[in-house]
Amino acid sequence: MSIQPFTIAIPQTTLDDLRERLARTRWPDEVEDAGWDYGAKLSYMKELVAYWLQTFDWRTQEAKLNRFAHFKADVDGVGIHFMHERGKGPAPLPIVLTHGWPDSFYRMHKIIPLLTDPANYGGDPADAFDVIVPSLPGYGFSDKVHGATSIRIAELFARLMTDVLCYKRFAAGGGDIGSRVTRLLALSHPEALVGIHLTDVGFPGEPAGIFPSDLSNPSPAEQQFLGSVGQWFMQEGGYAMLQSTKPQTPSYGLNDSPVGLAAWLVEKFRAWSDCAGDVEQRFSKDELLTQIMIYWATETISSSARLYYDDAHAAPQLKPGQYIEIPAGVATFPKDLTLPPRELGERFLRVQRWTEMPRGGHFAALEEPQLLAEELRAFFRPLR
């Protein structure tokens, strides 16, 4: 298995083409005073696109990303892009952090220095981590792979950590799809993991079947959670149904129109973050557009959406009554998609730490990197 240094370098022709497409945008109409009720707000999208054209500098953001150590490895014939930052401490613990949708490896860029060099941020150097942040196959700079289910991704990441990077044991964490991949890692490779940390535990009917199917005698808190999941899907789950059933259809528009892509993604960053309705309370325009650019420049909106379809058609992995044995920590953030109670997590996880965080949403590593870093240090400290 080969490994090579990797530098992000988007061709200038791609950037020139983007400018032409942005300048030719054909805007839709909008219901008067609709705000964000119907989806991405027209006035905000025009403001964001004007900034994209007139102010945003991809080369500046590209240079910032390239300050991290990037690599690309061939893992079982699949090119996996990842960042690998070494810890500054007496015995750094390796940890693989996995992102989800609609984000990318960029989700973790704020938390990496907090984990690799805790002493520089008021922490203990004994808590240092070696941090590995891969791009999911079909996302960012990893290869696009047909049939790259979360199950297969977990196997690829296990090989990346043990066979390519030669870590005998390691930690794992993530949220969204990253939570699913992390749980699958723990299920299939318990011997390699010292523990897992999650910002969500999944939900009923989850693709790839890594959520307990035998929710008999739910507690009042579990019943409330189940009801909230159903309500959330009615209000917010249209994207998931579309990407799980017909992901190719929206890809034509999203891969062709940068404004269409931006609207598809920004609406989620607003709805799923702890921003009180103002997305820029949590993410600057530069941060939003850097995230969008990773999808646009790599043309991965279609391949990223296919993961939903492939997972929806994968066989269940967690059998009724089955338990993930290795130690698990969970941090729930109040504005995340759903808020599971601890007793639900304990049905299938060996929960050793469960923390209800004071603020933050779905994109915890971007929204509250300091809080999440402190939580990761605290959970893994006794497991080192």
Whole-angstrom Cα distance, residue 384 to residue 378? 11
The helix/strand/coil state of 98 is strand
Residue 164 DSSP one-character state: I
Which residues, including other chains, have CB under 8 Å from residue 188's CB and lie 6 or more apart? 154, 155, 158
Look at the block and give the residue holding tokens 């579309």: 242
| Measured distance CA(317)–CA(188) in Å, rounded | 9
Q: Strand, helix or coil at 143? A: coil
Pairing of the two strands 129-134 and 78-85? antiparallel
Question: For residue 174, how far is the Cα from the chain centroid?
Answer: 7
Catalytic one of 176, 200, 310, 311: 176
Contacts of 284 (CB under 8 A, 6+ apart): none
Q: What is the rounded end-to-end Cα distance, in angstroms, of the chain?
A: 28
Facing residues of 196 across strands? 172, 328
Q: Is 362 a catalytic residue?
A: yes
Going along the chain, which residue ranges are E strands? 3-5, 70-75, 78-85, 93-98, 129-134, 170-174, 193-198, 324-332, 349-356
Chain length of the chain: 384
Q: Please check whether residue 150 is in contact with residue 311, taking contact to mean a CB–CB distance below 8 angstroms.
A: yes
Alpha-carbon gap, residue 185 to 146, rounded angstroms: 20
How far is it, in rounded angstroms, from Cα 194 to Cα 95?
10
| DSSP per-residue string spanning 328-369 | EEEEE-TBSS----HHHHTTTEEEEEEEE-SS-BS-HHHH-H
C-alpha 317/C-alpha 200 separation (Å) is 18
Q: Give SS3 for 43.
A: helix
Q: Is 308 a catalytic residue?
A: yes
CB-CB contact of 116 with 94 (8 Å): no
Q: Which of 44, 106, 295, 308 is catalytic?
A: 308
Q: So which residues are the catalytic ones?
A: 176, 308, 362
